[in-house]
């Protein structure tokens, strides 16, 4: 467990337990909002078969099985792409998402968040789509869930 702050950027693999709770708004005049992008676990591996240059992104997503938190510098560089994603049609998100993930793959030392990879053989896998599962913060503000390439829910 740990605190999070405005501008934090994390990447979490499938079935990694997590929760974010906001105690208060940073600025009461600005809504507190999180942007969540859902990916199917194998989508980048399928793309890599025809575009081998995506190997660094595949390695990044494998490392995200334990959760990764990116440096402030990486998060600041990535933020323009993260904030652009919700404004795009789902098809137009693919090149932006690949560019974003490539930037994250270049972070030399993301912090690993969990000591163990979850045992998915015993995990209950949720079949909700992002539209059915809305995270809430205690400050009462929404999380935007973006179906990304590879999500067919």
**Rounded Cα distance, 130 and 18, in Å:** 16
**Rounded Cα distance, 70 and 9, in Å:** 6
SS3 assignment, position 12: coil
pLDDT score, position 133: 42
Q: Would you say 58 and 44 are in contact if contact means Cβ atoms under 8 Å apart?
A: yes
What is the full per-residue pLDDT of the chain (153 aa) written as tens digits? Answer: 566 777 889 998 888 887 777 777 777 888 777 788 888 878 888 999 999 999 999 999 999 988 899 999 999 999 999 999 999 998 999 999 999 999 999 998 899 988 775 555 444 334 344 444 444 333 444 455 555 554 433
What are 88's two structure tokens?
Answer: 């795009």
**Rounded Cα distance, 67 and 69, in Å:** 7
pLDDT score, position 149: 54
CA atoms within 13 A on the CB side of 119: 2
111 strand-pairing partners = 69
Sequence ranges of the domains in the chain: 10-147
DSSP for 20-79, written as a single string: ---SS-SSTTS---EEEEE--TTHHHHHHTT-GGGHHHHHHHHHGGG-EE--HHHHHHHH
Q: How far is CA 1 from CA 113, 117, 140, in A?
A: 9, 16, 21
pLDDT score, position 124: 39
């Amino acid at each position: 467990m740990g605190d999070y702050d405005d501008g934090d950027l994390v990447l979490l693999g499938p079935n990694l337990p997590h929760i974010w709770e906001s105690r208060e708004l940073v600025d009461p005049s600005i809504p507190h909002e999180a942007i969540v992008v859902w990916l199917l676990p194998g989508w980048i591996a399928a793309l890599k078969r025809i575009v081998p240059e995506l190997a660094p992104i595949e390695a990044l997503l494998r490392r995200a099985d334990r959760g990764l938190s990116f440096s402030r510098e990486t998060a600041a560089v990535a933020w323009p792409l993260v904030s652009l994603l919700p404004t795009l049609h789902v098809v137009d998100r693919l090149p932006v998402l690949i560019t974003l993930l490539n930037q994250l793959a270049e972070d030399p030392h993301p912090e690993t968040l969990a000591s163990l990879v979850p045992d998915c053989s015993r995990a209950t896998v949720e079949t909700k789509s992002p539209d059915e599962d809305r995270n809430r913060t205690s400050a009462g503000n929404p999380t935007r869930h973006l179906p990304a390439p590879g999500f067919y829910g």
